[in-house]
Chains A and B, each alone.
Chain A
């Protein structure tokens, strides 16, 4: 298994509070991603990073921010949590390899976030 640890694994928070989810990897992979998973929508990309301090938006980035100060850590922050952000959040990593193998993203175990 790829060395990816997400924390916390479960969290319940109140509407309007800030929340930070952490993804830690031990693989020294360049690319890191945050996805959310909701019934009927599959996995949707929130933000991704292609290096330390280099990040970009995915398809559902509104209400989320990210930071990557070290290769191994990628943080996802909900500045002011809303009920629509109740979801399961997955971190993924990948690395550039000749032949296109850097599309092979490997996932963490997920964080279940409930906003009440």
Chain B
């Protein structure tokens, strides 16, 4: 099956720092999604990307759909303590209207020091 490599696996950063993480695929996707998961909760959708080269922001979060369609990046600016959690990328390679079978990365665990 398709593989998604997400890096880094974990990050321990200072409050106020910017954060970058990325996801690469062995094959082409036509949709990239970024989720955040907090302890004891399900993943929550942060950003959705549908076009190669697309750059989308959601508050302090910015994500990009790579030109090759095999990668995506998530940046968090000026991190705050509530950014703590696990961030997952997810990709999809099917045509619109068919069932959504997302492939997930293994996650980036973010911890923020005060």
Contact = CB atoms under 8 A, between A and B. Distances in A.
Asked if A pairs with B, the answer is: yes
Interface of A: 4, 31, 33, 35, 40-45, 48, 50, 56, 58-59, 90, 92, 94, 96, 98-110
Interface of B: 1, 4, 6, 30-31, 33, 35, 40-45, 48, 50, 88, 90, 92, 96-102, 104-107
16 contacts: A31-B100, A33-B100, A42-B4, A42-B105, A45-B101, A48-B100, A50-B99, A56-B99, A59-B1, A94-B100, A100-B50, A102-B97, A103-B31, A107-B42, A107-B44, A109-B42
B interface, over-half SS: loop
A104 B106 contact: no
Contacts of B107: 42
A108 B41 CA distance: 8
Contact of A100 (B31, B35, B102, B104): B31
Contacts, number: 74
Q: List the 6 closest pairs (A to B, CB-CB), nearest first.
A: A107-B42, A42-B104, A43-B104, A42-B106, A103-B31, A50-B99
B79 to A, nearest CB: 22
B101 A48 contact: yes
B52 to A, nearest CB: 13
A29 B68 CA distance: 32
B105 A99 contact: no
